[in-house]
Structure 1
Amino acid sequence: MFSDGYQDQFGGLQGKKFMRKQLYEVLADNAHRPMIQQQKILEQTLVAWQQDHPQIDDILVMGIRVCPQ
């Protein structure tokens, strides 16, 4: 679950939005990792993307771990 702030963040070489598809790819590529590692990857990805562009919106990404009974 996430707000639109992550995907709407401007950055990259051309100053474009990150976009939902790219966020889904990051989430899917790292779904097998522990949640704390997923958090770090999301943070690092955003910082690398954002570069010198200011944050334009609030950013919320929430993960839910389902444990087998």
Structure 2
Amino acid sequence: MQNFKLLKSIVERQNRLRAGRGGDEGQTVFEYLGIIVIIALIIGAIIGTGLANTIANAITAALADITG
């Protein structure tokens, strides 16, 4: 019986937390797709401008400083 009361209080608390938080329940697949497209465009721009090599070299140098 004690476990049932504990479980009930946990479920009630979770329900209150969900009700207070807007969350992303209204998000649609198209909104997520839009975010993915924007990220892909940013990655494409980084690669297209040659900035990727600069970033990779900076990361490699930073790791060499840390480890070495």
**Higher fraction of strand:** 1
More relative contact order in 1 or in 2 (CA 8 Å, sep 6+)?
1
Larger Rg: 2
TM norm structure 1: 0.28
TM norm structure 2: 0.29
